[in-house]
Structure 1
């Protein structure tokens, strides 16, 4: 969110959710040069339902559309699905391609998933047909399929993440999604002289977050507090602030969740269009990070966490150089390259400068970079994508019901192309209605494509004046928070 917080059962996508539950066997097709192969897996299950997934590989001639059919013999019923158009007639289930994934070349694969009910039995389908051709997925009934890792072990450890194509994967190559919340406070409490965190961050408070089946916590920070600049009270600055952040990161990881440390408020005086404040200090959202302090901030953060690959770095909360510059091209150039930017009175640190600061410090951690218009515009993100020698860069996106790009048409035209090339993480989703009808739509679109998202925010503010997920730090949800909580619990059991 760009304004100061204080002044004075849908679906999971085809990628596997980042939750700690038992590994479920995956039945893998194996045959001599079959026309097609199918991997079928039960990702998670509960008393009356389960989440399933299929991976289809076409070994024959390329096709421009596909349809997979199989039968459930125990009365299972598909209720929802993603990455395919799912339907069921009697015992026969059909998954037909979506408009964006119909092309399947020789050797190409596509994955899709579904939610289904079951009662009494949940036998694995034995025959799969792709466009009418039987695929080889036979497994001897007397054999137990060899388990293939599809979910993290429930050992309480946060996974090490890295980019593989357009997915995030862990050290074992298992696809992960980041599904969680923001924990605001570290960006504003210290600079306003109140403390470091807004509300408790002890073990009980972090466990309450995990109890929502959250797997990721984004932690907004303030560069002046981290660097210990003279305008910050000493008890909230420098080593005291850094140690508090390290402690919170450790608690998040101890609950098996991914911590994202994110730079929210920065130095530099900006009084132009959409200025949040006139103060030179880091007391509001600026249009871009500053060259004076931000590279030093990220170099220090990178040095602090470079030996912990479970920590992800979000470069800058919500850039908006497009509000200051004359043209969109100038804005994207400013975003990537920094320097002297039209309409911004201080020297800007571009996202390339920040990536370089992190990598030069020896950190190979996952990096997230948001686009223009308060991270709501990714239309030219691929064109201006910074160079990352570690190859561990993802796109960040923010969306609220009052943003410009807040509908499926915009998501299809501007987000889908990005998500096809790099991992896409919606670092903030929310609405100012104290309800969840809009975020329900967002989660559905992101689920259908196996993408990541985090709700704003895990703080006990009045949800009628902003998107606050909880009314108590024990995890009591607001009417808005109920949407995210129930959704994550339905996904992850």
Structure 2
């Protein structure tokens, strides 16, 4: 969209499903006046033993039509089994195709088309006569028999040669991307029902100013649809979605829309309700495709978000069916949709090898040059939620990232099929800010941005409102944004830590950290923009940066608990690495009482920061949720409050603690300190003690 389209409205009535299992769909527009003249082009695009695919194009040579009905007869017992973009019925040899609700109007000289699958025995001659609204079509009727006979049935019903286009160039131009999460995908009454403000042009302008080139607008449709069989999308909701899409396109963005939380609301029931789900899915995409068919090519369609099914054994085949049907519906809806980039997900948008292979098979069968694949990545799970003691961006965590993107690259990008990382982030963002330590978080995002570039994968940051403030239009964590933005073009140096802990009393020693140069070189160590002096304040040997005792003594000043000074490690490229100089002592905990729904350990943190917590019974076995590990999930089980001076234990934690048991907690802090504490559950009552 261009800026002149801002505020443009389009109210659409509900559309009927264009594709159903038996070729039966509701048509809401009746045939109009007789056609003064017409031409029909009937083409058998492919044929196999017992079946065929045909496309029928009608050219109106008379006055404008407000509805149409095309009839013909088969000479050798052929039968229509499945149709799209028309309602096709058959009685004996006589076939009638009636317009769908959205393609009944045909201008003088205009054309309309529909397609279908059919069966045949013996031979499959093309029809020789067609009648449109009661008038014989004699205007150079064209019929084309198949030129080849495939030995196997196609997995889709293409009506034209795959569209020309450069999917790789389009996806590359979409880098970097941003998600407008928890707005139109919210499952409540409107886009504000999950706490985000109404989307404004100012917000889109603000996102544009951050350097993003594309916006993914997740959309959940189910709560805005009418009943079967039409599943009509509420016109006001569709209009509102289109308004925001228009505004985003007007800003110059590539825009991707999809079917979002419908995946787990009703699509996942497809194993038990195959025909119902398929009909609804087709009806939904038919309406979306029609509403957006004339939008510019910068609008991209994604078939479904994070597809999942109640029967895993059927899941690959069902997703193949949905992705194939999606492609057929969009391509046959005409307009820009004939060549629009289509994005297909793997099952669960996972890069597990079997799921990549399954999607690769689907894409190969489609033979469509304007298709991209999509997966999502939220990191190595133990690191992403801070569980099982995985608190750092260690070798295992990095290897998981590398393997994930390597597999996606090998399955698709290396073969000319572009990949969009449609969502990425860390799950700890959604459970507790602080679940992932800041420096470790920054290392994850720095490396992900870098490695995705190496694999030519376009990235789209998941943001449900926790990153870019949609009212003030500023980042909640500017340091994180700076690292993400830098990773789009270069690498940044990091370090083994972003915190140096020093004791409250006694002699302050020199401290050494390891620099992760990442292809850069060290250039300076600064405080408040002023360079510290090499040899006096610090020394550098290879990747080992040592701060002298004298410099640290000066920087800590009165040695108040907490951060005494912030330094910047500056590299030859990328963003500087922040290094906090902190004073701390071993935290002090106190006895307390509470309940399983409200219990907090009184904690004097004394400048330290909680990293993780172990929980074990007296016999040494693991206590609490996820009892395969003693280390409990941060946020879900424990949450520190540094202002209130507490460490809260959640009802989720106590929900899986044996009644009457005493649990030993070992609290690990980032300084390296550990503190032991005990909690005893008696019914809903909880007592916390120091011994």
Cα deviations by residue, 1:42-61 (Å, 9 ceiling, x for unpaired): xxxxxxxxxxxxxxxxxxxx
Separation of aligned partners in 1, 2:164 and 2:420: 13
Count of aligned residue pairs for this structure pair: 285
2:474 pairs with 467, 472, 476, which one? 476
Query: What's 1:221 paired with?
Result: 219
Give the 3-state SS of the residue equivalent to 1:201 in structure 2.
coil
CA 1:187/1:209 → structure 2, altered by over 3 Å: closer, same or farther?
same
CA 1:292/1:374 → structure 2, altered by over 3 Å: closer, same or farther?
same
Separation of aligned partners in 1, 2:278 and 2:170: 32
What is the Cα deviation at residue 389 of structure 1? Answer: 6.2
Q: Is the 8 A contact 1:288 1:319 kept in 2?
A: no
What is the Cα deviation at residue 488 of structure 1? Answer: 2.9
* 1:270-309 matched pairs, under 5 angstroms: 290-308=277-295, 309=297
What is the Cα deviation at residue 301 of structure 1? Answer: 1.2
Q: Does 1:428 align with 2:416?
A: no
Q: Does 1:401 align with 2:399?
A: no
Q: Is the 8 A contact 2:213 2:254 kept in 1?
A: yes
Separation of aligned partners in 2, 1:163 and 1:394: 12
| Unmatched 5+ stretches in structure 2 | 1-162, 383-398, 430-440, 491-691
Q: Is the 8 A contact 1:288 1:320 kept in 2?
A: no
Q: Runs ≥4 in structure 1, deviation > 6 angstroms?
A: none
Separation of aligned partners in 1, 2:281 and 2:418: 24
Cα deviations by residue, 1:294-343 (Å, 9 ceiling, x for unpaired): 1111111111222222200011100134x7323xxx43222202xxxxxx
Separation of aligned partners in 2, 1:269 and 1:253: 29
What is the Cα deviation at residue 167 of structure 1? Answer: 1.3
What is the Cα deviation at residue 269 of structure 1? Answer: 7.4
Separation of aligned partners in 1, 2:371 and 2:402: 25
Query: What's 1:152 paired with?
Result: none
| Unmatched 5+ stretches in structure 1 | 1-160, 274-279, 281-286, 338-349, 461-467
Q: Is the 8 A contact 1:332 1:384 kept in 2?
A: no
Give 1 or 2 for the bigger CA radius of gyration.
Answer: 2
Separation of aligned partners in 2, 1:261 and 1:294: 15
* 1:173-212 matched pairs, under 5 angstroms: 176-189=173-186, 191-195=187-191, 198-212=196-210
Give the 3-state SS of the residue equivalent to 2:260 in structure 1.
strand
Q: Report the structure, 1 or 2, having the larger strand content.
A: 2
Query: What's 2:299 paired with?
Result: 311
Q: Is the 8 A contact 1:218 1:259 kept in 2?
A: yes
Q: Is the 8 A contact 2:449 2:488 kept in 1?
A: no
Separation of aligned partners in 1, 2:481 and 2:251: 19
Query: What's 2:549 paired with?
Result: none
Cα deviations by residue, 1:223-260 (Å, 9 ceiling, x for unpaired): 22554559xxx9xx611111111111111112111110
With CA pairs under 8 Å and 6+ residues apart, which has the higher RCO, 1 or 2?
Answer: 1
CA 1:299/1:387 → structure 2, altered by over 3 Å: closer, same or farther?
farther
* 1:83-162 matched pairs, under 5 angstroms: none
Query: What's 2:91 paired with?
Result: none
Q: What is the TM-score with the length of structure 2 in the denominator?
A: 0.37
Q: Does 1:366 align with 2:341?
A: yes
What is the Cα deviation at residue 425 of structure 1? Answer: 0.5
Cα deviations by residue, 1:53-105 (Å, 9 ceiling, x for unpaired): xxxxxxxxxxxxxxxxxxxxxxxxxxxxxxxxxxxxxxxxxxxxxxxxxxxxx
Cα deviations by residue, 1:440-492 (Å, 9 ceiling, x for unpaired): 322111111332010001x33xxxxxxx322443332233x743455336747
CA 1:248/1:194 → structure 2, altered by over 3 Å: closer, same or farther?
closer
What is the Cα deviation at residue 418 of structure 1? Answer: 1.3
CA 1:302/1:242 → structure 2, altered by over 3 Å: closer, same or farther?
same
CA 1:228/1:181 → structure 2, altered by over 3 Å: closer, same or farther?
farther
2:315 pairs with 323, 331, 335, which one? 331
Cα deviations by residue, 1:7-60 (Å, 9 ceiling, x for unpaired): xxxxxxxxxxxxxxxxxxxxxxxxxxxxxxxxxxxxxxxxxxxxxxxxxxxxxx
| Pairwise CA RMSD | 3.6
Separation of aligned partners in 1, 2:308 and 2:218: 17
Give the 3-state SS of the residue equivalent to 1:200 in structure 2.
coil
Q: Does 1:238 align with 2:226?
A: no
Give the 3-state SS of the residue equivalent to 1:290 in structure 2.
helix
Separation of aligned partners in 1, 2:329 and 2:192: 25
What is the Cα deviation at residue 428 of structure 1? Answer: 0.3
Separation of aligned partners in 1, 2:404 and 2:275: 24
